[in-house]
Amino acid sequence: MIRVQTDDFDAGTELEQLRRSNNGQAGAIVSFTGLVRELNAGEQVTQMTLEHYPGMTEKALEKIEQAANDQWELTASLIIHRVGPLAPDDNIVFVVAASQHREQAFRACEYMIDTLKTRAPFWKKETLPGSTRWVTPETTV
Amino acid sequence: MVRLRYFASLRETLGIGDEQLELPDGVHDLPALTRWLQDRDATWASALADNRLHVAINQEIVKADASIADGDEVAWFPPVTGG
């Protein structure tokens, strides 16, 4: 399942729902949570705004999730990505892979977040004290 | 008609995020459409000359020589930074 939303998510609630929906099939659940850093490239970030391309974003995330499910034997998967204004320490993204064994779940989770970072049409703009800047792939590494 | 979209820093540079226009005569592919837009003024010329930009047609990333047809949605944007 994929979701693009302005609202926050609760990682614990999401994991518990996914765990229940597995009906005992999964032996491993691996999750990744991405957060807004308070310091990025040495600068204080006071706010971050996430822009996206509605429509294409959902297609891109579905494609990434499908590719993970094609490559590994997953019993469940989930990608949630937030858009709009966010504050330091806020949740940005949540990626979960469940499988019978941990290796498949680890690999699939890593694949989904790594691929999302280069393929899904999201753009971060940081507000610093007195200025704003668009994040570039070089400044996020 | 084609729908043209511009995102993030490119949208800010161009001062527009979304427009619709009749596909100009003789424009059938991405290089020709990009050149046509660059002829608008110096800002468009330099902004669209950035070879780091990605282009999506109908919400799928395409190569630089992709063809364009009436009804397409074409989007230009800088490298993505989500996650």
Per-residue pLDDT of A14-31, as tens digits, reads: 999 999 988 789 999 999
Contact B80 A118 (CB under 8 A): yes
Contact A134 B7 (CB under 8 A): no
Tell me the pLDDT tens digit for each residue of A37-69. 998 888 899 999 999 999 999 999 999 999 999
Q: Which pTM does this prediction carry?
A: 0.94
Q: Which residues pair with A51 in a beta bridge?
A: A123
Tell me the pLDDT tens digit for each residue of B43-73. 999 999 999 999 999 999 999 999 999 999 9
- Contact A54/A120 with Cβ under 8 angstroms? no
- Per CB-CB distance under 8 Å, the chain A contacts of B72 are none
Tell me which residue in B7, B61, B75 faces A51 most closely, judged by beta carbons.
B7
- Per CB-CB distance under 8 Å, the chain B contacts of A135 are 81
Contact A123 B82 (CB under 8 A): yes
Tell me which residue in B8, B59, B83 faces A56 most closely, judged by beta carbons.
B59
| ipTM for this model | 0.94
CB neighbour burial string for A5-34, b if at least 16 within 10 angstroms, e if fewer: eeeebeeeebbeebeeeeeeebebbbbbeb
3-state SS of A79-136 is EEEECEEECCCCEEEEEEEEECCHHHHHHHHHHHHHHHHHHCCEEEEEEECCEEEECC
